[in-house]
Each structure stands twice: as C-alpha cells, then as structure tokens.
Amino acid sequence: MPTNSFLQSLLNWLSTWFGRPGNSPVPGSRAVTLTVNNTTEPVQVLSPRVLVVVFDPVWDRQTGQRLSQAPETAHWNRVDDLLAGYLADVEECSGGLVKYQVVERITLDHFPVKEDQFVYDGASYLQALRTGRYHAPDWMDYGRVLNELRLLQRVEQGDCDEVWFFGAPGFGFYESRMAGRGAFWCNAPACENTESCHKRFVMMGFSYERGVGEMLEDLGHRAESILHYRWRTVPDRANLWKVF
C-alpha cells in the first residue's frame, strides 16, 4: 500500500541519520533496513548514543570559578536542563521513535581554539561578551577538537553515534556539522580529512546562553540539509521536499 511505502522510506531515513540500537554497522557491510509488512506492525525505536562535550572554561584561575558560575552568566541555562528538555521534545515530536541516550559527558576547562589559533582568556572574553564584538574568524578549529578527544576513533569503534558541543556566545560552533567518510553539507561544510572514520556522523553546536527552542531550530536546519542531500537527484516535479 502507498502508506506502507511512505512509512518504509521514513523509517529507513531515520535509521540512517539517527543511528541504530546496538552495534554500529561493520565497515563495508550492507545496512539493515527496517521492514514494515502492515500498518499495525510496531515500529522500531531508535536510540542514538550521544557524547556531550561542554566547554566551560575556568573563569578565575585563583578561585577556580568557571564561566557558567560567573556573575555575568548567572541568568544563562544549565546544561542539564537543556539536555532534559531537548531529549524530551525530540522523543515527543518523533512519536516516541527517537530516544536519544547520553552515554558520556566531558567538561573542558579551556576556551575553544579558533581556526586561526586564537584563544580567548577570561579578560578578553569578558570584553567581547560586554561589547558583542567577537573574534573573527569566529569558527572553532574542529580538526583540533576531533584529534584531542579522539572523536573519529570513538565513533568508528561504536562508542557513540553523535557529538553535541555546548558552549557560550562567540565559541564558534556551527549549528550542525558532519564528519566521517562520505560526509556532506549539513548546514555547514563537511569536516575535511575525516575519512578514517567509516561512519559519517553529526556534531551539533548548542549554546547554554540560549534555550531548548534554539536547539530544536538547529535540529530543523540539520534535517533540511539532509533532506536536500537525500533527494537532490530526484527531478524537481517528483521531489516533494523541493515542492514543499
């Protein structure tokens, strides 16, 4: 039936980009597709595993106070609250089909290194925060973070399916960015020199100065990029995403 065909396509797409329960596919093996024989057959719940990386620099070296504890950021959100709200909303909006699992959380003491190797300290960042004039180029050096945290190796060996960065304004995150073999534009240029990881994966960039709503907006832009890539070879008249 047409309904089954549509549901099958939707399930296959979700399983491709949100990961699958259990072990990651063996490089070179064929992906397992989800088969729906009728509309009453239960769908498979997806449980993508997430590695959360929080940039929370030490703000005051003498006291050990972090950026998230500084008076200037007292009104910002707690990462725990953002995670809880985002996980709940994705599960609800997917009809219970996507249940993210945070498998590990890493807190980093330093500011992200920029593409030109610039790094804020407490004083320079406070000046940027107060004036709204942040360093340019703004983007974080993703290659450095991938290497330092061994993210390619960790995804390759099945430790996680996605990486979520949390930071503050001016830290230089893209809303979403893809890495790994076969990576493509995902609301940001694909990460170069990441082909050693046979599984392509998405890194989200969230701000604890913003709310869950902005996190969901990032996810929406990610979905738009993937849909565009998925259907880019389909003629315009048959490409329902372009029509939409």
| Residues paired with 51 in a beta bridge | 104, 163
pLDDT at 199: 96
Between CA 8 and CA 227, with CA 215 as vertex, the angle to 5 degrees is 35
Tokens standing for residue 20: 């699958």
In angstroms, the CA 244 to CA 240 distance is 6
In angstroms, the CA 111 to CA 146 distance is 15
What value does the mean pLDDT of the chain take?
Answer: 86
- Which of 2-6, 57-61, 119-123, 181-185 bottoms out in mean pLDDT, i.e. has the lowest? 2-6
pLDDT at 64: 81
- Which of 39-48, 62-71, 170-179 bottoms out in mean pLDDT, i.e. has the lowest? 39-48
pLDDT at 2: 45
Report which of 203, 171, 199 is spatially closest to residue 187, judged by C-alpha positions. Answer: 203
Average pLDDT over residues 76-99: 96
Q: Please say if the pLDDT value at position 32 is more than 50.
A: no
| Residue 8: pLDDT band with limits 50, 70, 90 | low
Q: Please say if the pLDDT value at position 216 is more than 60.
A: yes
Q: Please say if the pLDDT value at position 90 is more than 90.
A: yes
| Residue 29: pLDDT band with limits 50, 70, 90 | very low
DSSP string, 27-92: TTSPPPPPP--STTSPPPPB--EEEEEEE--EEETTTTEEGGGSGGGTTSPPHHHHHHHHHHHHHH
- Which of 63-77, 168-182, 209-223 bottoms out in mean pLDDT, i.e. has the lowest? 63-77
What percent of the chain shows pLDDT beyond 90? Answer: 65
Q: In this predicted model, what pLDDT tens digit does every residue of 44-82 receive, in sequence order?
A: 899 999 999 999 998 777 788 889 888 888 899 999 999
In angstroms, the CA 130 to CA 128 distance is 6
Kindly report the pTM of this predicted structure. 0.80
Q: In this predicted model, what pLDDT tens digit does every residue of 129-157 receive, in sequence order?
A: 999 999 999 999 999 999 999 999 999 99
- Give whole-number Cα distances, 65 to 73, 81, 159, 203, in Å: 12, 20, 31, 28
Tokens standing for residue 161: 């399916």
- Which of 17-21, 54-58, 183-187, 208-212 bottoms out in mean pLDDT, i.e. has the lowest? 17-21
